[in-house]
Structure 1
Amino acid sequence: MIDRIGWLRAAVLGANDGLVSTASLIVGVAASSVASGEILVAGSAGLVAGAMSMAAGEYVSVSSQSDTEQADLARERRELAEDPAAEREELAGIYVARGLDPALALEVADQLMATDALGAHARDELGISEFTTARPIQAALTSAATFSAGAALPLLVAAVAPFGLVVYLVFGASLVFLAALGALGAKVGGAAIPRATARVAFWGAAAMAVTAGIGHLVGKAV
């Protein structure tokens, strides 16, 4: 359950990022009074570039985490082979710090190490489990997919909107989408939905307003 909630929260954040960045790009380009075809080209390029950037960044980041985890596990495996008694005491000490009495802590450590010593130390000493272990490819694909899903929404609105209304329709529709994502993220995280929704919508509107203003000024200048 915790694992699913974590991935859902990450998916909401990825979609939110794709929505805000692509909507801001489309609004900014549209405000410069370019042709509708150029708006769609810019939005599509933003979607692809953003998704690739998210995937690459997530892959590199999570790969570094995975390398660290593997190094920690290798060190723990070596320490277990060289001095299992010290590792038993170390594991028991962790349980004592969590509230168990020393005798019970040693008994728990013995039982856990009898079945899976490395797993027990990985989970309780290093904080590594099957739910939290780094998965670079999965993280990269998830980031790219959620970013693309969010970015596709304003791009679709821009594709069907009348040319003169692109800025207004993309702006309004994106705010609705952002509010929905904010509410979903708040519900998943157990936060206050109205405040989270207002916060996401405010910053999304600010980003689109700034890029629209810049696009309008640049369009006039050129």
Structure 2
Amino acid sequence: MHHSIHDETHLSNRNHWLRAAVLGANDGLISTASLLVGVAAAGPSSQTLLLTGMAALTAGALSMAAGEYISVSSQADTEKADLDKERYELTHNAERELLELTKIYEARGLNHELARQVAVSLTEHSALETHARDEIGLTDLSQAKPIHASVASGLSFVAGAILPIIGIVLLPASTLVWSLAILTIMGLILLGIISARLGGAPVIRATTRIVTWGILAMMATALIGRLFGVAV
């Protein structure tokens, strides 16, 4: 079978939402589990634990979504400012911008004449798009998308936080503290595997990284609780 166009799916194209999703799920799982482990140690009723977990899930998801939206919106504003500046320069200093583009291609290994020809050709095709990509480093795939990042972050926080909440309902109350800790570690392992598969990273390295930092975060929470007189 003959294919005239060979389309490759590059894993880095997922960066704009994968980072937000992994961060959200990791934060949702660790923060909610750490909170519930600390509260469970005081021996409250399962209803109190469930309400605590749901409150943590709701507040955390909204906070993550809002924070991600604000952060990525700031990035989008910066990108827009760069494009506006470049648009102005192309209008008022076209020859200088052409020379700038030529030097970029020379730095990549082309001789001066070929670099100049490429710069002229691409400028005639789409000057702003060419400068945005090759001078500033912006493409359609890399441009900040606040809504996408916000939704991915909020929903993934919920996905991470729901695991320890389910644990409250299903796990025996007598061993809830340790059971939640073990369940959280299992969740971190699963998150590491999923993120590695989606991002094309080595599974063991990605999983070890997430589990190690997750355990350290829970240990830090337990230590702080102990310092303030709360048995975790």
Q: TM-score, normalised by structure 1?
A: 0.89
Size of the aligned set, in residue pairs, is: 220
The answer on whether the counterparts of 1:23 and 1:151 sit within 8 Å (CA) in structure 2 is yes
Counterpart pick for 2:230 among 215, 218, 221? 218
Task: Give CA-to-partner distance per residue, 1:9-59, whole Å, 9 cap, x none.
Answer: 442232112111111111111011111111111111111111111111111
Deviation at 1:159, TM superposition (A): 1.9
The answer on whether the counterparts of 2:14 and 2:199 sit within 8 Å (CA) in structure 1 is no
Q: Which residue of 1 aligns with 2:54?
A: 44
Letter in 1 for 2:104: I
Q: Which residue of 1 aligns with 2:35?
A: 25
Q: Which residue of 1 aligns with 2:7?
A: none
Q: What secondary structure, in the 3-state scheme, does the structure 1 residue paired with 2:136 have? A: coil
Deviation at 1:135, TM superposition (A): 1.1
The 5 Å alignment of 1:59-208 reads: 59-189=69-199, 191-208=201-218
Deviation at 1:86, TM superposition (A): 1.1
What is the distance in 2 between the residues matched to 1:41 and 1:161?
Answer: 16
Q: What secondary structure, in the 3-state scheme, does the structure 1 residue paired with 2:100 have? A: helix
What is the distance in 2 between the residues matched to 1:73 and 1:50?
Answer: 34
Greater RCO (CA < 8 Å, at least 6 residues apart): 1
Structure 2 runs not aligned, ≥5 long: 1-9
Deviation at 1:5, TM superposition (A): 5.1
Distance 1:144 1:209, change over 3 A: same
What is the distance in 2 between the residues matched to 1:135 and 1:212?
Answer: 37
What is the distance in 2 between the residues matched to 1:134 and 1:195?
Answer: 28
Task: Tell me how large the CA RMSD over aligned residues is.
Answer: 2.2
Q: Which moved more, 1:180-189 or 1:211-220?
A: 211-220
What is the distance in 1 between the residues matched to 2:208 and 2:148?
Answer: 31
Deviation at 1:126, TM superposition (A): 0.7
The answer on whether the counterparts of 2:188 and 2:214 sit within 8 Å (CA) in structure 1 is yes
Q: TM-score, normalised by structure 2?
A: 0.86
Q: What secondary structure, in the 3-state scheme, does the structure 2 residue paired with 1:218 have? A: coil
Which is helix-richer, 1 or 2? 1
